[in-house]
Chain A
Amino acid sequence: MKGLLAFFALFVAVLGKETFDGSFGLNNVWMGVTDVAVPVDVRVPFHSLQSIKIYLETQDIEYSIMIEDLQVMLDEEREEMEAAARVPQPRGTDSFDFSRYHTIDEIYSFQDMLVAENPNLVSKIVIGHSYEGRSLNVLKFSTGGTSRPAIWIDTGIHSREWVTQASGTWFAKKIVTDYGRDPALTNILDKMDIFLEIVTNPDGYHFTHNNNRMWRKTRKPNPGSRCDGVDPNRNWDAGFGGPGASGNPCSETYRGPKAHSESEVKSIVDFVKSHGNFKAFISIHSYSQMLLYPYGYTRTPVRDRDELHALAKKAITDLASLYGTRYKYGSIINTIYQASGGTIDWTYNQGIKYSYTFELRDTGRYGFVLPANQIIPTAEETWLALMAIMNHTVRNPY
């Protein structure tokens, strides 16, 4: 036992909910023994704490305390869940609270309500299913025609970027509210269709609510690795395999075993190709406050660089006009970092000229855990930039 480099992590439960009979049963082992030199997690009732510590120390077994007081954490979690349960289900999208973060079920209900309330404008298309079998829902906003030129917007491809799914929900409501009221949006929808995928990575989003708030990737296991998931923004067939993504499944930027290996990505690829008439493609992330155009995988400028640059400048100027939020803009590789296998590099190479990526608020003060009171201001200002891009797209057919 002394030579065993087993490394215990302890939870300490003070005044735990369960009763203890004094013996240290197997139901206290939270992560069991799998291998030598792999840690074991153990929950220790308070009255056993001293004797367990003494035992481990005399046996020369390293340990560290992961949670000092499990009860505190459980109490906090129960409070959160009770608070959430107290919130009544909205009866319609007019009583949906856009200033809060929502679960995937709440967002999917919202989508269905929006369609039911606006049957002549909105429909829901299931373009595929996630690894864990969740439907990949796209809202189509259309005033008619067949296969009109179209604009694509996606949010939540990286699940921890919660302000994006929240903004996507707000955009959906904004579109139905403004059609017939705002001349610019009405003009756009009279000529083009808008497709909006709000929860582009539903498995990841569910995981951020229930397991790990900082989860980014998909949730597909990687054979032969203890690490799960593929970065869906490194999985596209553009510069795939080159620098700017990782080949290690444990990496947050793991590109996956091959391009389009993830159903969350493949579903969009298939949809875009079979539609064949997308003119703008906007993929929304957070955080950094940037508006980016291709490429990420190479420093070679895109052919339409000057036009995309000028349009980005207009869009971020409009964005800033609302609350003074400053955005940087430029190509991905110059502005943020080299990234290969990215969404808009692929869409641009498919011929979708107005391909942009947003990085929404903030610049790192709160980062991924942006306070909910910033959701609506973020969505409002971003909408102005989206309108600039959509207006330009409808006025410059190609």
Chain B
Amino acid sequence: MGLRIVVFLAVLVVVTGSPTVTIRPEAASEDTSAHPNSLPETAEETETPGQQKVSIVEELEEDVMATGKLNPNHYPAQRAAKVVQHYLNTRYGSPYRVFFLHRVHSGNAEDVADSGRKYQLEISVQDLISTNTEKCSAEVLFPGGEQQRSPHVQASCEELRKIDTKAQEEALYQQYKTNPSLLAAHLPDSYGHINPEMKPFWHLGAVASSFIMLNESTENTLFNMAQVANVTQLATENDQLRFDYHILLHEMVSQDIIHWKLQVSWSPSGGVKVLQMEQLPHCHHCEKPPNTN
């Protein structure tokens, strides 16, 4: 039986030319812990509240589409958790409130109907401005099917503590409402620098980007906003400040830099809305956006 498996696997390698087939003919009979969904080791948390300790997680054997309990430090849980970050920013973000994924504590993945994939996650997010961290429980559903559709997210966080950003938001709003004159480029610049007066517009860009990043996310992507290329203020309409943003997103798996133009509205009461969005070609020297395998 062992020899037959070896021959079969050897044929498979020859036929597909793929180096990824693992030939372990003895494993099936001998190795009782080899089931891809079982966990030989568990994660140890050594962090105690209030102290800075490093969490030590042992590496787990994983199947290709990780299912069951996930290693929180490996990419499947990390990518799903990033989607939760984008979702929270679309719901709660503002020029003075931007969330960032801080840590994944635990995760679980399963196949669901119509080739969808559902993740359950315990994560922490950090408010970049107040630096408070909060714990969240979340569920991310990546729908299956032929067309790529946006993930669905549900999340409940401890408090999403209302740090009072109202005064700052009002002040910013008033400052730019009557004289719509903002024009800025390269936030941050090549050296990572942002003028303090421009930071709220960097934050606003990050929140607006989150709508795109949320829409575009799959199990095979991980998005961050790389840079605000430029931002121009348009005339105020319906008491909402309005801006044209040209934003660069970085997608980690393909390593692509993706250009988007967004029209964004904001007011303290209206929140952040993306009114129009358009992906720009990769570079205007190229005929079409690059395909990534």
A and B are partners in one complex rather than unrelated chains: yes
Contact check, B227 vs A369: say whether CB atoms are below 8 A apart.
Answer: yes
Contact check, B192 vs A251: say whether CB atoms are below 8 A apart.
Answer: no
A226 within 8 Å of B by Cβ?
yes
Contact check, B59 vs A330: say whether CB atoms are below 8 A apart.
Answer: yes
Choose among B183, B192, B232 the residue that contacts A366 (Cβ–Cβ < 8 A): B192
Choose among A31, A39, A245, A372 the residue that contacts B193 (Cβ–Cβ < 8 A): A372
A78-B290 Cα distance, complex, nearest whole Å: 33
Contact check, A251 vs B183: say whether CB atoms are below 8 A apart.
Answer: no
State whether A337 and B253 are in contact (beta carbons under 8 Å apart), knowing that A320-B54, A369-B189, A371-B188 are contacts in the complex. Answer: yes
Contact check, A38 vs B19: say whether CB atoms are below 8 A apart.
Answer: no
Chain B residue at smallest Cβ distance from A208? B190
Contact check, A251 vs B254: say whether CB atoms are below 8 A apart.
Answer: yes
Contact check, B255 vs A213: say whether CB atoms are below 8 A apart.
Answer: no
A31-B285 Cα distance, complex, nearest whole Å: 9
A365-B128 Cα distance, complex, nearest whole Å: 9
A252-B292 Cα distance, complex, nearest whole Å: 8
A155 to chain B, nearest CB (A): 17
A113 to chain B, nearest CB (A): 23
A100-B286 Cα distance, complex, nearest whole Å: 34
CB contacts between A and B, total, < 8 Å: 153
Contact check, A369 vs B73: say whether CB atoms are below 8 A apart.
Answer: no
Contact check, B185 vs A251: say whether CB atoms are below 8 A apart.
Answer: no
Residues in chain B near residue A250, CB distance under 8 A: 282, 286, 290-291
A38-B254 Cα distance, complex, nearest whole Å: 25
Contact check, B188 vs A363: say whether CB atoms are below 8 A apart.
Answer: no
Chain A residue at smallest Cβ distance from B183? A72
A119-B186 Cα distance, complex, nearest whole Å: 42
B173 within 8 Å of A by Cβ?
no
B247 within 8 Å of A by Cβ?
no
Contact check, B290 vs A369: say whether CB atoms are below 8 A apart.
Answer: no
Q: State the interface size on chain A (CB cutoff 8 A).
A: 65
A224-B225 Cα distance, complex, nearest whole Å: 32
Contact check, A372 vs B191: say whether CB atoms are below 8 A apart.
Answer: yes
Chain B residue at smallest Cβ distance from A76? B185
Give 1 or 0 for each of B62-81: 1 = CB within 8 Å of chain A CB: 10100000010111001000
Contact check, A368 vs B19: say whether CB atoms are below 8 A apart.
Answer: no
Residues in chain B near residue A162, CB distance under 8 A: 190
Contact check, A335 vs B75: say whether CB atoms are below 8 A apart.
Answer: yes
Contact check, B62 vs A334: say whether CB atoms are below 8 A apart.
Answer: yes
B93 to chain A, nearest CB (A): 14
A76-B193 Cα distance, complex, nearest whole Å: 13
B30 within 8 Å of A by Cβ?
no
Residues in chain B near residue A248, CB distance under 8 A: 290-293
Residues in chain A near residue B74, CB distance under 8 A: 328, 330, 334-335
A313-B55 Cα distance, complex, nearest whole Å: 10
Give 1 or 0 for each of A327-367: 1 = CB within 8 Å of chain B CB: 01111001111000000000000000000000000011111
Residues in chain A near residue B188, CB distance under 8 A: 366, 369, 371
Q: Which of B18, B103, B292 has the most CB of A within 10 A?
A: B292
Contact check, B64 vs A72: say whether CB atoms are below 8 A apart.
Answer: no
A307 to chain B, nearest CB (A): 13
A274-B70 Cα distance, complex, nearest whole Å: 43
Contact check, A226 vs B192: say whether CB atoms are below 8 A apart.
Answer: no
Choose among B20, B226, B292 the residue that contacts A369 (Cβ–Cβ < 8 A): B226
Contact check, A216 vs B255: say whether CB atoms are below 8 A apart.
Answer: yes
Residues in chain B near residue A335, CB distance under 8 A: 73-75
Residues in chain A near residue B254, CB distance under 8 A: 246, 251-253
Chain B residue at smallest Cβ distance from A240? B19
A298-B20 Cα distance, complex, nearest whole Å: 5
Contact check, B292 vs A253: say whether CB atoms are below 8 A apart.
Answer: yes
Residues in chain A near residue B250, CB distance under 8 A: 214, 364, 367-368
Contact check, B183 vs A68: say whether CB atoms are below 8 A apart.
Answer: yes
A146 to chain B, nearest CB (A): 37
- Tell me which residues from 228 to 270 in chain A have a Cβ below 8 Å from any Cβ of chain B: 231, 239, 242-243, 245-248, 250-253
Residues in chain B near residue A101, CB distance under 8 A: 190-191
Contact check, A369 vs B284: say whether CB atoms are below 8 A apart.
Answer: no
A282 within 8 Å of B by Cβ?
no
B11 within 8 Å of A by Cβ?
no
Choose among B62, B101, B227 the residue that contacts A363 (Cβ–Cβ < 8 A): B101
A299 within 8 Å of B by Cβ?
yes
Residues in chain A near residue B189, CB distance under 8 A: 80, 369
A374 within 8 Å of B by Cβ?
yes
A227-B19 Cα distance, complex, nearest whole Å: 29
A10 to chain B, nearest CB (A): 13
Contact check, A72 vs B192: say whether CB atoms are below 8 A apart.
Answer: no
A73 within 8 Å of B by Cβ?
yes
A129 within 8 Å of B by Cβ?
no
B237 within 8 Å of A by Cβ?
no
A41-B254 Cα distance, complex, nearest whole Å: 28
A366-B224 Cα distance, complex, nearest whole Å: 9
Choose among A324, A329, A334 the residue that contacts B75 (Cβ–Cβ < 8 A): A334
- Tell me which residues from 98 to 116 in chain B have a Cβ below 8 Å from any Cβ of chain A: 100-101, 103
B10 within 8 Å of A by Cβ?
no
A101-B188 Cα distance, complex, nearest whole Å: 14
Give 1 or 0 for each of A116-127: 1 = CB within 8 Å of chain B CB: 000000000000
Give 1 or 0 for each of A267-296: 1 = CB within 8 Å of chain B CB: 000000000000000000000100000000
Chain A residue at smallest Cβ distance from B227? A369
B197 to chain A, nearest CB (A): 15
List residues of A whose CB falls within 8 A of some B CB: 9, 31, 38-39, 41, 67-69, 72-73, 76, 80, 100-101, 162, 208-209, 213-214, 216, 226-227, 231, 239, 242-243, 245-248, 250-253, 288, 297-300, 309, 313, 316-317, 320, 324, 326, 328-331, 334-337, 363-372, 374
Q: List 16 A-B contacts (CB under 8 A).
A: A68-B230, A214-B227, A227-B286, A242-B20, A246-B290, A246-B293, A248-B290, A252-B256, A300-B22, A317-B54, A330-B59, A334-B62, A334-B71, A367-B224, A367-B225, A368-B250
Which 6 A-B residue pairings sit nearest by Cβ, starting from the closest? A364-B224, A371-B192, A250-B290, A252-B255, A328-B73, A324-B52
